[in-house]
Structure 1
């Protein structure tokens, strides 16, 4: 991703440093923040909620800089990077903290941002869960091809893919049985950017969206982003994306393969974080059969 939001020389006079007098005598600090994110949605819609507010980022930087004194500007840089990456749209961030008046025992040139500084770059790294399904055409070949496309998606790393399961369709008009699987990975992408990548892979396999819950050559659903067990999962409810997937916790054809890909999987439900293994043990899985063997990774 090459889109960026940059804040340069956010100026704060405050107290930070190892030495005793630095904790009580204010000095100058300057902060640079560069955020990598997908700005296409904001550019096309002219809507603030489809980007990252640089005003909010600047306020966070000032809040962190004016906290009770810490010893290291490295600590401040890490905290600001973490605050930026807490935003769903942020894919990576670089933070530089300048301390031009640092008592280093040597002379620095006067004026400008001379003197010590530290820079950190951190990338988003969230767990993602993707459900795969197909019930038209050569289902096995389509799903194998889809996994290969997921592997080639920049910003997405697959960790595990379940075995195949053959399942009876749930809802919709009469249609053939599905092959279903679940892929678990790590991603730096914003959730709606990842969803766009999934839709592009579907379209490349002839997916159409004419009938809701109708038969399809390929279905890729973004089930969950983040880890409910660590309370790091994203909860979104917009016209384009709901997270976690609103029906995933009730669908055996999602949970059974998910459990195969990740025996410790946890999903967020209306009752809170639940182990997928517990949900599977409590539901009727009679319409799910083990499918043909495959080695997608």
Structure 2
């Protein structure tokens, strides 16, 4: 029997931990021995490679611990640039609480941006592995909580294939869509449909190292995705969308590089580059 906690149960639990800052205060008191290594991120803006002003370095730090029946995590994103205004360095801070409740794995995550300190982005999630059900709520919280998006995913087996149904609803725009997934052996098919547009993506694993996935939408958009495994968990993912952009994501050990190049016909725009790596201390 599927035991579903009421929305009141979920919101009360998350409110007590998230809205009253228990996530942040408890997680930051975790001993330093539990802290993860910081990660350095360097971003190149607008394709400017030759000027320091084109770089946006930042440090990301996070840690985790427990408080009673809750698993806690928190993190902070800090700009790594010379300045005398130390208050301008923090870019965002986030906290997350997670616990088991009546067969559900419940979690709540809140993130506050430095430029909007009185408003928090909130993500609530409930996952029931036995029933293959997942529910997510995306909201914002300030003086009151406002739900922005809601989605749910239900999976089940159909013969030798796995099928998933994922309806999503955008409260702000009063619009929704549904994602249907089908997977068997080395083939995966994804259909996305809303009132105005439909798209299909067919992913085929060619061999152990190569996967291709053509995509087509009813509005005429066509794209092709190719993923190449390089060994030792290294990979390159390339996506080409004609008359829009070329996107490349390259994982190489501790490094992750993302490159996006806008294209229009034969014209190529300036690349946007993001480079990340975990700094060893």
TM-score range, shorter chain: under 0.3
> Per residue, is there more strand in 1 or in 2?
2
Report the TM-score when normalising by structure 2.
Answer: 0.25
Q: TM-score, normalised by structure 1?
A: 0.24
Higher normalized contact order (CA 8 Å, seq sep 6+, divided by chain length): 1
Greater radius of gyration (CA): 1
Higher helix proportion: 1
